[in-house]
Chain A
Amino acid sequence: MNPTDIRNPDYFHRVVDCQWACPAHTPVPEYIRLIAAGRYADAYMVNWRSNVFPGILGRTCDRPCEPACRRGRVEQGNQPTPEPVAICRLKRVAADLKGDVRARMPSRPRRPNGKRVACVGAGPASLTVARDLAPLGYQVSVFDGDPRAGGMIRSQIPRFRLPESVIDEEVGYVLDLGVEFRPGHRIDSLRRFLAQGWDAVFIGSGAPRGRDLDIPGREECAAHIHVGIDWLASVSFGHTTRIDKRVIVLGGGNTAMDCCRTARRIGGEDVKVIVRSGFDDMKASPWEKEDALHEGIPILNNLVPKRFEHRDGKLIGMSFQPVHAIFDDSGRRQLVPSGEPDRYFECDEVLIAVGQENAFPWIEADCGIDFDRHGMPVLDAVTLQSSVPHVLFGGDAAFGPKNIIWAVAHGHEAAVSIDKLLSGEDPRERPAPAVSLVSQKMGIHEWSYDNDIDPDARHKVPWREANEALASIRVEVEIGFDTATAYREAQRCLNCDVQTVFADKLCIECDACADICPMDCLSFVANGDEADLRGRLRAPAHNTAQALYVSAALKTSRVMVKDEDLCLHCGLCAERCPTGAWDMQRFLLDVTHAGPGCRKSPERVAA
């Protein structure tokens, strides 16, 4: 292999698995160390800069970082149930304990720059655009048909997962930057809206339509059948306060989990979830399923809804056909009847949570915005511009329903595009991230990070007693870590951003680093191609998603090869190296947001 080019910012960025996996590239280990140090407000601001909604995300994020977290891999074979660091819930700790951070927020610009930007929808995507652009002097107006800002964060996510005060606070930080919010203002014609002469329009209108289920009995029982997301919104805004005792929730995604848990709190006594797929194939995150089961809600699998049964115009139950999944050669799943007799369940009400769709009835065909055959806008995947360059899309409206953190990531990118576009630059030329790489050495064997490896298993977030939690829809179920547990959990982080940096010129090939490395990451071997090398190292490097760090040829003509996969970042290699050929250096990558940094495209190279 050729020597690894560590000057490419992507190389070390990928080593920080969590940050790489985070759509907004939040510098996770950086804020986790700040939490361990008790610097909660600093930890909060690191998050706020990257993901805008730390308190909200610390409770609700889909957390793509956690399955990516190295800790989950290194605990394999070392812990009965390997688990990643509780990255998401540590974020909540920062939000809970930060105190008053208002003074740290950006100030409103002294002078507007005269450019007007409109955001359609007040969800996380639009609010991110607003937050990035308003401090730069843009005049940002955010329109939403709903009475309050937040989008689905406010209308869909139930209060027992996310208290309203947290939404108010974090949405408030954005609106307080001088953003104009126009509540109850639904845009019903894009053509007319564009005619108002906005310099740029960002469409963050979400994926607002819940899929329905067209099976016999649907019309007859309409009064007792609800589309999940509409029903949740109605509960959130206080229009619906009750449900009958026996409830069936159809669907296996997170919306279904929110529906059943909400129903359980507002009158549902016999609530069950019935899903077409098997338990493991359900779309809901494992923790969402766990939470529902924990509240005594059964999940019945492999049942396809067949009919709503009714008597005298009233819903009395539902029948289902039992199925099992078979997979064809291309791995596609097909549900085939299992041959067992149909099953029937009595119920009073049904909530349909079988998916969500985009809908743009308010965008006229002659506006110049191209849509594909699925009805989705045709976008530049990088700039998020539509076929009308100053109209951009982001969040669920761009590529279909995803989640909050993706909406935020889109918001940042769209803000960069708008800023460049309105500064007369090409939005396709994207700014490089700001990167620094700094040695953490303080003394012979002292580092400015805690390199001792904590053996603890993942700490559980405490839950409120089930009775108490089920008593009201407003009681938050999770209590959050206390400071002591937060510290212990933070110590599980391996500091993957503190990189092992190798200087081949200094190495005398004494083997000390390879001998001391607890994970057998390091090998001195004859060079070869990647597949060959991966099989010839001290420990096989089968995880090809993780890089090999290869040096130039050393004196004996061998090369140093490090398998990044399971490195603990313990620094023992560097402590053991007689010549300082290894050093532990903190890699900090900040995604460049809208602002002067994204415009001048300054030359930035790794230090």
Chain B
Amino acid sequence: MTYLAKPLMHHPSLPRNSLGYTRRDYEGKISTLCAGCGHDSISAAIIQACWELAIEPHRVAKLSGIGCSSKTPDYLLGNSHGFNSVHGRMPSVATGANLANRDLIYLGISGDGDSASIGFGQFSHLMRRGVNMTYVVENNGVYGLTKGQFSATADSGSKSKYGGVNRDAPIDLASIAFQLGATYIARGFSGDKEQLVPLIMGALTHPGAALLDVVSPCVAFNNHLGSTKSYDYVREHNEALNRLDFITGRAPIEARYAPGETHEVDLHDGSRLRLVKLDAAYDPTDRVAAQRHLLARQRSGEVVTGLLFLDPEPEDLHRHLNTVATPLFALGEDELCPGAEALARINARLR
């Protein structure tokens, strides 16, 4: 970690977004993670995505559990709301917060331990309920904060820094999210921001449960030979299905990638996702076919990245529960507590 605060000085040409903010205005405190941690790159990508979307910082709520990954909300969006909860319990806090105020943009940041080990149940229920949020898992295959024990996402056969071999089957959070009905599913790599930033932008604007599984090497405990989550391994096995461009109304469309077959999805807020297919056989809007394809390629040892699934007509928790649109804090006492008479009427209906 670094002890100095990052100097506020910035490049004179640093651009401003439509709110007048520079990218630096979306930064948080200086990171205390190990130098070179993939998580810091993901933080930088989130900062970039929020800046590009010109999100008002006070409209974001950052939520996390416990772990190195869960510490990172402190290192970005210094002017946003935040709740650092207990280990594996970010999903229930996120669900509750979202129920109370659907107007905020919810950004959960978790780790593979936090979400696939201790918080696996919470993770699953959040996905199946369709909580409208961006759920980032910074996936390094280990418990980084507690010094590198295998987590539940560690691949079978991968080696720990101290030589032990993991024999258990890995949990693939993206596959689980498919099954549980998540409506936006993507996988990225902390070492490829060009791919990652648009994936985050897509997730932040998606009006449903969006899972981003980001492979994020732990330089201290899982970046060695025999690890399947090291910089070298991921670079060698990374197979991108597609390249995503996030097109907001104001930004001109610029092709960032080599041409391929493109596929555009109009979003409800007027923006558009443009996918350049790198694998022609993959259709990210077909939940069943996509899952099968993904499974086959993962079995052959590929780290498949890109936009894995998108439901352009998502539903979320509030729709399921038919809740009131107004955030609870904006309702008056009379509306929140309609009184004994109203209670009596409800009870009467249930008799």
Give residues in A with beta carbon < 8 Å to B: 74-78, 445, 451-453, 455, 508-512, 515-516, 518-520, 539-540, 542, 555-556, 566, 568, 570, 572, 575-579
Of B11-19, B81-89, B249-257, the stretch lying at the interface with chain A is B11-19
Which A residues are CB-close (under 8 A) to B260? none
CA distance A74 to B10 in the complex (A): 8
CB distance from A568 to the nearest CB of B (A): 6
The residue on A at minimum CB distance from B6 is A518
In contact, A578 and B219 (Cβ under 8 angstroms): yes
CB distance from B305 to the nearest CB of A (A): 15
CB distance from A236 to the nearest CB of B (A): 45
CB distance from B256 to the nearest CB of A (A): 12
Give residues in B with beta carbon < 8 Å to A: 1-4, 6-14, 24, 34-38, 40-41, 43-44, 190-191, 193, 217, 219, 223, 231-232, 235
The residue on B at minimum CB distance from A578 is B36
List the 3 closest A-B pairs by CB distance, nearest first: A578-B36, A77-B12, A453-B7
Kindly list 12 other residue pairs between chains A and B, CB separation below 8 angstroms, not including A539-B13, A539-B14.
A453-B7, A508-B36, A508-B231, A510-B38, A515-B41, A516-B2, A518-B24, A520-B10, A556-B235, A566-B11, A570-B4, A576-B35
Which A residues are CB-close (under 8 A) to B7? 453, 455, 518, 568, 570
In contact, B219 and A510 (Cβ under 8 angstroms): yes
Which B residues are CB-close (under 8 A) to A579? 36
CB distance from A496 to the nearest CB of B (A): 14
In contact, A519 and B6 (Cβ under 8 angstroms): no
Which A residues are CB-close (under 8 A) to B35? 512, 575-578
Which B residues are CB-close (under 8 A) to A75? 9
Which B residues are CB-close (under 8 A) to A515? 40-41, 43-44
In contact, A555 and B235 (Cβ under 8 angstroms): yes
What are 18 contact pairs spanning A and B, CB under 8 A? A74-B9, A78-B10, A445-B2, A455-B8, A455-B9, A508-B232, A509-B231, A510-B217, A512-B36, A512-B41, A516-B2, A540-B13, A556-B235, A566-B11, A572-B2, A572-B4, A575-B2, A578-B37
CA distance A519 to B41 in the complex (A): 17
Which B residues are CB-close (under 8 A) to A508? 36, 219, 223, 231-232
Which A residues are CB-close (under 8 A) to B43? 515
CA distance A50 to B293 in the complex (A): 71
CA distance A539 to B15 in the complex (A): 9
Which B residues are CB-close (under 8 A) to A578? 34-37, 219
CB distance from B47 to the nearest CB of A (A): 9
Q: Known contacts A577-B35, A578-B34, A579-B36; decide if A511 and B44 are in contact (CB<8 Å).
A: yes
In contact, B11 and A510 (Cβ under 8 angstroms): no
In contact, A520 and B11 (Cβ under 8 angstroms): yes
CA distance A515 to B27 in the complex (A): 11
CA distance A579 to B34 in the complex (A): 11
Interface centre among B1, B11, B13 (most CB of A within 10 A): B11
In contact, B193 and A511 (Cβ under 8 angstroms): yes
The residue on B at minimum CB distance from A570 is B7
CA distance A390 to B41 in the complex (A): 64
Which A residues are CB-close (under 8 A) to B8? 78, 455, 518
The residue on B at minimum CB distance from A556 is B235
CA distance A167 to B9 in the complex (A): 41
Q: Known contacts A512-B37, A518-B9, A539-B11; decide if A576 and B193 are in contact (CB<8 Å).
A: no
CB distance from B177 to the nearest CB of A (A): 26
Which B residues are CB-close (under 8 A) to A512? 35-37, 40-41
Which A residues are CB-close (under 8 A) to B40? 512, 515-516, 576
User: Which residue of A76, A509, A568 contacts B191 across the interface (Cβ within 8 Å)?
Assistant: A509
The residue on A at minimum CB distance from B193 is A511
Q: Known contacts A445-B1, A578-B34; decide if A511 and B41 are in contact (CB<8 Å).
A: yes
CA distance A510 to B232 in the complex (A): 10
CA distance A577 to B35 in the complex (A): 6
CB distance from A324 to the nearest CB of B (A): 33
CB distance from A578 to the nearest CB of B (A): 3
The residue on B at minimum CB distance from A565 is B11
CB distance from A393 to the nearest CB of B (A): 43
The residue on A at minimum CB distance from B3 is A445
CA distance A145 to B41 in the complex (A): 70
The residue on A at minimum CB distance from B231 is A508
CA distance A572 to B5 in the complex (A): 10
In contact, A511 and B2 (Cβ under 8 angstroms): no
CB distance from B192 to the nearest CB of A (A): 9
Which B residues are CB-close (under 8 A) to A74? 9
CB distance from A581 to the nearest CB of B (A): 10
In contact, A516 and B6 (Cβ under 8 angstroms): yes
Q: Known contacts A445-B2, A510-B217; decide if A77 and B14 are in contact (CB<8 Å).
A: yes
CA distance A520 to B6 in the complex (A): 12
CA distance A75 to B9 in the complex (A): 8
CA distance A451 to B3 in the complex (A): 11
CA distance A539 to B11 in the complex (A): 7
In contact, A452 and B11 (Cβ under 8 angstroms): no
In contact, B193 and A451 (Cβ under 8 angstroms): no
CA distance A5 to B239 in the complex (A): 36
CB distance from B76 to the nearest CB of A (A): 11
Which B residues are CB-close (under 8 A) to A556? 235
User: Which residue of A76, A451, A455, A566 contacts B4 across the interface (Cβ within 8 Å)?
Assistant: A451
